[in-house]
Structure 1
Amino acid sequence: MRSHHGAAAIGLLATACLLISSPAYATRGPGGSDGGVKTSGTRSGHTLESRITYSGSAGGTNGTSTGNVAPVGNWNPPACWYEPVSAKDFQNHVESQYGEVVNDPGQPNYAKAATGQFRGIYKDGKYKNYNLDKADEGNWWVAIQDPNRLDDPDAFTCSRLPFWVQNGDTPAVQNAVTPKVLAELAYNRILLPDIEVTLAPQDVTKVNLPTWAWLDKAKFKEVSVTASLNAAGVTIQATTTAKPVALKLRPGTADAETYPASGECTLNADDSIGEPYARGKASQTPPCGIKYLRSSGNGTYSLKATVTWKISWTGTGGAGGELPDGTFGTAQDVTVQEVQAVNR
């Protein structure tokens, strides 16, 4: 049986999420004339939202971008974090939300009670009048959830109630906003361009005929997103950059061979991948490509092209480093006909 104190604690945590963790919003997909991703946090009405803003380049030279980089391994960017709010903003937010809940006849009594308990902690309980008399000495730090990951259990791990931090002190809690945390949040907002590998033959290839594959330098470049926080006396930022380093080909059938055998084509010196086919190379082995060993019949094979991106970051105060590599892949249909020999 759940204890009275346990239920009360859970109620306060739920109230904290309701009152404080109105998540930052993120506009995913191309935005702006530069094809970049622009997301922002604002305070509108009585909703306390993240003050982190995002800007940067996302997409290829054509400005199209359709997906996020997926981290390699078990690592994921934070699904929630803590950031500072001034004493006055915190007071205004809690008081306005408290008024809305207790004056709403549609709210159940337990919700009103929990809201009152939560307010009491900061108004005339553990703290006095939201620490307004100490407004020049510090800030409240509150939990924020990533709105794009509310189905992720990790979004609910920032369960600490709002707490006071003196100016100049580092909050003793995981995922308190720092340049590195900003870099990790920017990682999750990098949008990458579609990757359509150029093939020769282009649309229809033949059984046992090497098919050349390549990506021109101009078709995919490094992309970056900058995350900035300028609020409650805290000004920090970080820029996360993704650079393509390799292309992995998966033919879509076991009846195929890849070049090289691993199927992974690395970056050339000029930042391209593979080598364009030219007349007279029909008898050569492509540095990057596929040889299908069986016809696709009346259908097609789904060729998956996945690019590996190396991720690095720089931030306020000269901070910086590496983050886990990421991948992003797209598929294209390939028709393979049963012809043993052709002239190219």
Structure 2
Amino acid sequence: MTEARRPLVTIAALALALALSPLVLTGPAHAATGVGTGTGAGTEQSAGSGDKSIYAAASIQYSGAVTKDGSAGNMTSSDVNWTPPPCWYAPYLGAKDFKKKMSGQIESAKNTPGMGGTAGAAVGEMQRHYEDGYGWTDTPGYKDYNVDKDGEGMFWAAVENPDEPDVLKRSSCNDLPFWVENGDTPPARYEEALSPEILAALAYQRMQLPDTKVTLAPEATTKVNLPTWAWLDKAVFNEVQATAAINVPGFNIRATTTAKPVSLKLEPGTADAETFPASGECVFNADGSIGQPYAKGDAGKTPPCGIRYLHSSGDGVFKLRATITWKISWTGTGNTGGDLPDGTFGTTQDVSVREIQAVVR
């Protein structure tokens, strides 16, 4: 049965999020086990009976330079309008196991006090959708949860990115779980369905970059009006890669995000300073290094990358900030790929600046 419009679909999705919350998966940039633990799952999960037939959404597996604790990485996008995906749709359960979970939760929701009125009607609409084939123009219904097709596909459900604002999650990924045949891709209307590009963005978010502490000469303590040389060793700043992949029956994709360092920006920590070059942007040399190490006899020269402090830091220190800009690209399954916004990552270090003392006779 197909209807022309979905009068309660938004309410139904809301009811799903509030009353049937275990189906809205959460976790640190990966799909969960189906019970909202956020700990991730393997490609198989044991059912209560002991048979391994519940194919919960496989966790997104990360490799390369990624954070170890599942938290967001340390790179900031240079494009203020770009953010990692707040949520996405991912393979969740096979038909029989989806029926077991969904039908149980629908019954629980129907028996929950206060689930009358519009919310109760929305739950009833969902029940008709999955049991009686009640659908809409762009969303077909299902007869008995598609159990006659068990093993031929999976229901997909929403996964929330815990590192992104709730307001973005609420405005996206609010459709009910939907069926996808093995080997097929979700319909085009599900723009947030898991794809190589989404995996690339998640790898971007979790990418771990090297510390940007620069070598200084003089080291830590310098003098007013004395050029301070700054440089970074070429061995430290090679390309950094992070890979995200998912592997479930009938659906296997991956993406590798690559960050290539392109420039270093020095911010002295005070307006009373000059940078070399004047822009503060030190470009990478052909060998991958930045700047030039100070050598004996260079005291009278201007460093290709460095700072001159014009005033003393007194009893305190100046917070020198060194920020690397990284050029980001990605490649993925099916010869996909492209660019993501440049990323930046910086750290600060203390610099003490002293006055040069002179004896007057």
Does the aligned pair in 2 maintain the 1:251–1:301 contact within 8 Å?
Answer: yes
Counterpart check, 1:155 vs 2:169: yes
Displacement of 1:72: 1.1
Displacement of 1:12: 1.8
- Residue by residue over 1:188-222, the C-alpha shift from the partner in whole angstroms, topping out at 9 and shown as x without a partner, is 11122222111111111111111011111222332
Counterpart check, 1:196 vs 2:213: yes
Unaligned runs of 5+ in 2: 31-38, 48-53, 135-141
1:208-219 map, 5 Å: 208-219=225-236
1:66-85 map, 5 Å: 67-73=73-79, 74-85=81-92
Counterpart check, 1:87 vs 2:95: yes
Aligned letter for 2:85?
P
Does the aligned pair in 1 maintain the 2:73–2:205 contact within 8 Å?
Answer: no
In 2, distance between residues paired with 1:71 and 1:54? 23
1:109 counterpart residue number: 114
Counterpart check, 1:319 vs 2:336: yes
Q: Out of 134, 142, 150, which is 2:149 matched to?
A: 134
SS at match of 1:131: helix
Q: Out of 179, 182, 187, which is 1:171 matched to?
A: 187
Displacement of 1:52: 3.9
1:195-344 map, 5 Å: 195-339=212-356
Q: Out of 109, 121, 124, which is 2:129 matched to?
A: 121
In 1, distance between residues paired with 2:232 and 2:149? 58
Counterpart check, 1:51 vs 2:82: no
Does the aligned pair in 1 maintain the 2:57–2:248 contact within 8 Å?
Answer: no
Displacement of 1:58: 2.0
Unaligned runs of 5+ in 1: 28-38
Does the aligned pair in 2 maintain the 1:84–1:232 contact within 8 Å?
Answer: no
Q: 1:123 to 1:249 in 2, by over 3 A?
A: same
Aligned length: 318
Does the aligned pair in 1 maintain the 2:72–2:163 contact within 8 Å?
Answer: no
1:30 counterpart residue number: none
Q: 1:16 to 1:48 in 2, by over 3 A?
A: farther
SS at match of 2:163: helix
Q: 1:279 to 1:89 in 2, by over 3 A?
A: farther
Q: 1:255 to 1:100 in 2, by over 3 A?
A: same
Aligned letter for 2:86?
A
Identity of aligned residues (%): 51
Does the aligned pair in 2 maintain the 1:260–1:287 contact within 8 Å?
Answer: yes
Does the aligned pair in 2 maintain the 1:66–1:194 contact within 8 Å?
Answer: no
Aligned letter for 1:181?
I
SS at match of 1:16: helix
1:21 counterpart residue number: 24
Displacement of 1:314: 1.3
TM-score w.r.t. structure 1 length? Answer: 0.82
Aligned letter for 2:113?
P
In 2, distance between residues paired with 1:192 and 1:143? 29
In 2, distance between residues paired with 1:269 and 1:15? 58
In 2, distance between residues paired with 1:209 and 1:256? 11
In 1, distance between residues paired with 2:179 and 2:285? 52
Q: 1:267 to 1:170 in 2, by over 3 A?
A: same
Does the aligned pair in 2 maintain the 1:221–1:243 contact within 8 Å?
Answer: yes
Q: 1:295 to 1:122 in 2, by over 3 A?
A: same
> Structure 1 residues 41-50 or 211-220, which shifts more?
41-50
Does the aligned pair in 2 maintain the 1:206–1:336 contact within 8 Å?
Answer: yes
Q: 1:283 to 1:254 in 2, by over 3 A?
A: same
In 2, distance between residues paired with 1:280 and 1:325? 38
Displacement of 1:92: 3.3
Does the aligned pair in 2 maintain the 1:179–1:316 contact within 8 Å?
Answer: yes
